[in-house]
Chains A and B, each alone.
Chain A
């Protein structure tokens, strides 16, 4: 980052709110902080024009995009914390399936609340195991969670012999996905709720600052007396629990628990988080960016389908986007 001593002195003498904002804008990354929102607007505009006749802008299609984005957005918020802490959670997709199965198993006999809590509890447990092994045995989290991905996927497949478990509980389905407040889908409300909680946790809670510190410079954080091991474990618990909540939302929307729910979400989630301005290697995160990234991914998915692309082409397009996003992330990491 280049420094301009003249502007530095000027802003030092004029601490007005506008001047302070400009100072922060300039020194905290400039326009690049807002790239994800520009990209969102650009993609939205592009699809609106070229897919105008295919009904891209119709309210039902936009609502559809929002619904598709919901589980991704929730997982992206959780993943942002794992990445911010300098870890990564590759097991999130399998946790989605586990959570949906646990919910389906419990809801029938014990009600919607018990089902949801059991699903979240099981997911959090996966996060605790991920975190403990990562921190105590000192195995990189990408290996621990990769192993966990296999384990949980296997458990999910064995759960009901690859068959889906039906959920016949209107309250569960209504609250977690199928219903809504008037015309507003409950999924959209959950995006806002989870995004807001995540944003507050990152910026206004001590824990969020400690997560960033741990990911930015673990030795310095330790020297400041922060229990970085506990911070890392908690970040992986948050990531797994968020994935569990995404599983609940999918289970609610589809009224089933199934072993392959969330199976192909991992790359989409990571792409959403990284496009949103979270550093893949820790120390920088944006929750609003992650949610916007999820909306971009859902919008791309939707637009590519409307354009008539085959699944294979969609996979290629998504892969290209992820590599571009990661390349951008690495360039920023080197500069900062």
Chain B
């Protein structure tokens, strides 16, 4: 990788009362690479993602986006910096349709200055752009006007991921994006991740599934009880290696 890392988080620590959820964790995300964030339940994966996506403020540490240090104050701020997060559950709004979800809180308006002031939606433009974004990502949805609540789990997750990258976001954090999906739908999501990677997006993937790590990830960072216990190139390791890092049986330091 010749370019600067998309994101560097260094020395991140975060405590909740007496529990040290993260202790001096560093991670680096590169453009066009998929990084797995692994660890047992409670190892600190989600806490780290929330620190990067602006939902939590770390107690210590620095975050650099495209080489510049930022103190990420909110999810809105993170998004402005080009970081998008697809949370396990906090993803789509069921009663809104596909296009409305894709443009949630980033709506296009019409009617000039006044239209922008009162927020008069340009639904036609949003549907058109939604269609082209989904086409670019090879996401197939029956109808953009259908409420997302009526879609299948895989389609909903695809909409959530589509939203994450709809505006050329360069850093995408995915928290168990295929947790509740069937085999075929999971494969679609994995294809989507590869698609993002090929378009130069830096992807962080949280998962418990080692097959997915081996299938799509380039590197893996393993957390154990709030500390980074391993950082490896995925092609260099086996499934058993990863499992032994996660369970704390082994570490690279």
A212 and B142 in contact, given A27-B150, A205-B119, A225-B76 (Cβ under 8 angstroms): no
Judged by a CB distance under 8 angstroms, whether A207 is at the interface is yes
Q: Which residues of chain A from 220 to 265 have any CB-CB distance to chain B below 8 Å in the complex?
A: 220-226
B121 touches A223 (CB 8 A): no
CB distance from A209 to the nearest CB of B (A): 6
Interface residues of B in 75-128 (CB under 8 A from A): 75-76, 79, 85, 87, 89-96, 100, 104-105, 107, 109, 118-121, 123
Judged by a CB distance under 8 angstroms, whether B147 is at the interface is yes
Which of the segments A7-15, A41-49, A127-135 contacts the partner chain? A7-15
Most central of B74, B75, B96, B150 by chain A CB within 10 Å: B150
Contact status A3-B152, CB under 8 Å: yes
Query: Looking at the complex, which one of A8, A20, A212 makes contact with B93 (CB distance below 8 Å)?
Result: A212
Residues of A within 8 A of B96 (CB): 209, 212-213, 216
For B120, list chain A residues within 8 Å (CB). Answer: 204-206
A289 CB–B CB distance under 8 Å = no
Given contact pairs A23-B146, A206-B119, A207-B119, A216 touches B75 in the complex (Cβ within 8 A): no
Query: Is the beta-carbon distance between A226 and B104 smaller than 8 angstroms?
Result: yes
In the complex, whether B168 has a CB less than 8 A from a CB of chain A is no
List, in ascending order, chain B residues with CB within 8 A of A160's CB.
none
Task: Indicate if the CB atoms of A28 and B146 lie closer than 8 Å.
Answer: yes
> In B133-165, which residues have CB < 8 Å from any A CB?
140, 142-143, 145-147, 149-150, 152
Assuming the A-B contacts A20-B143, A28-B147, A224-B104, are A213 and B93 also in contact, with contact meaning beta carbons closer than 8 angstroms in the complex? Answer: yes
Contact of A24 among B89, B107, B143 (CB under 8 A): B143
Residues of A within 8 A of B123 (CB): 204
Q: Which B residue's beta carbon lies closest to that of A219?
A: B90
In the complex, which residues of chain A have a beta carbon less than 8 angstroms from the beta carbon of B94? 216-217, 283, 336
How many angstroms from the CA of A206 to the CA of B79 in the assembled complex? 19
Q: Which A residue sits closest to B55, measured CB to CB?
A: A223
Tell me, in angstroms, the Cα distance from A222 to B55 when the chains sit together.
10
Interchain CB contact under 8 A, B142 and A8: yes
Please state if A206 and B150 are interface contacts (CB–CB under 8 Å). no
Contact A284–B95 (Cβ < 8 Å)? yes
B residues less than 8 Å from A216 (CB atoms): 93-96
- Chain B 13-51 interface 0/1 with A at a Cβ cutoff of 8 Å (1 = within): 000000000000000000000000000000000000000
* Residues of chain A contacted by B93 (CB below 8 angstroms): 212-213, 216-217, 220-221, 224
A28 vs B107: C-alpha distance when bound (angstroms): 22
1/0 per position for A112-151, CB-CB distance to B under 8 A? 0000000000000000000000000000000000000000
Binding site of A, secondary structure by majority: helix, strand, loop or mixed? helix
Contact of A223 among B87, B109, B118, B119 (CB under 8 A): B87
List of B residues within 8 angstroms of A204 by Cβ? 120-121, 123
**With A and B bound together, what is the CA distance between A219 and B91 in angstroms?**
9
Residues of chain A within 8 A (CB-CB) of B147 are 27-28
Contacts of A15 in B (CB 8 A): 143
Q: How many angstroms between the C-alpha atoms of A28 and B93 in the bound complex?
A: 14
**Whole-angstrom CA separation of A210 from B94 in the bound complex:** 13
Distance in Å from the Cβ of A93 to the closest Cβ of chain B?
Answer: 29
| A12 pairs with B140, CB closer than 8 A | yes
Residues of A within 8 Å of B87, CB to CB, are 223
Render A1-33 as a binary contact track against B, CB cut-off 8 A, 1 for contact. 101000010011001000010011001100000
Among B85, B90, B118, contact of A217 (Cβ-Cβ < 8 Å): B90
Least CB distance, B3 to chain A, in whole angstroms: 28
> Which residue of chain A lies nearest to B85 when distances are taken between CB atoms in the complex?
A223
Residues B121 and A209 in contact, CB atoms below 8 Å apart: yes
Q: How far is the CB of A300 from chain B (nearest CB, A)?
A: 29
CA distance A209 to B140 in the complex (A): 24
The answer to whether B95 touches A212, judged by C-beta atoms less than 8 angstroms apart, is yes
Known: A209-B107, A210-B105. Is A12-B146 also a contact (CB below 8 A)? Answer: no
Contacts of A206 in B (CB 8 A): 107, 109, 119-121
Which residues on the A side are within 8 Å of B55 (C-beta)?
223
Chain A residues with Cβ under 8 A from B121's Cβ? 204-206, 209
Give Cα distance in the complex from A226 to B105, angstroms. 6
CA distance in complex: A225, B55 (Å): 10
Alpha-carbon separation in the docked complex, A216 to B140 (Å) = 25
> In chain B, what residue has the closest Cβ to A214?
B93
Complex Cα spacing A11 to B150, Å: 14
Give chain B residues whose Cβ lies under 8 Å from the Cβ of A217: 90, 93-94
Binary CB contact string for chain A from 148 to 190 against chain B (1 if under 8 A, 0 otherwise): 0000000000000000000000000000000000000000000
List 5 contacting pairs A-B, 8 Å CB cutoff, sorted by A.
A12-B143, A23-B143, A24-B143, A27-B150, A226-B105
Q: Which residues of B contact A (CB under 8 A)?
A: 55, 74-76, 79, 85, 87, 89-96, 100, 104-105, 107, 109, 118-121, 123, 140, 142-143, 145-147, 149-150, 152
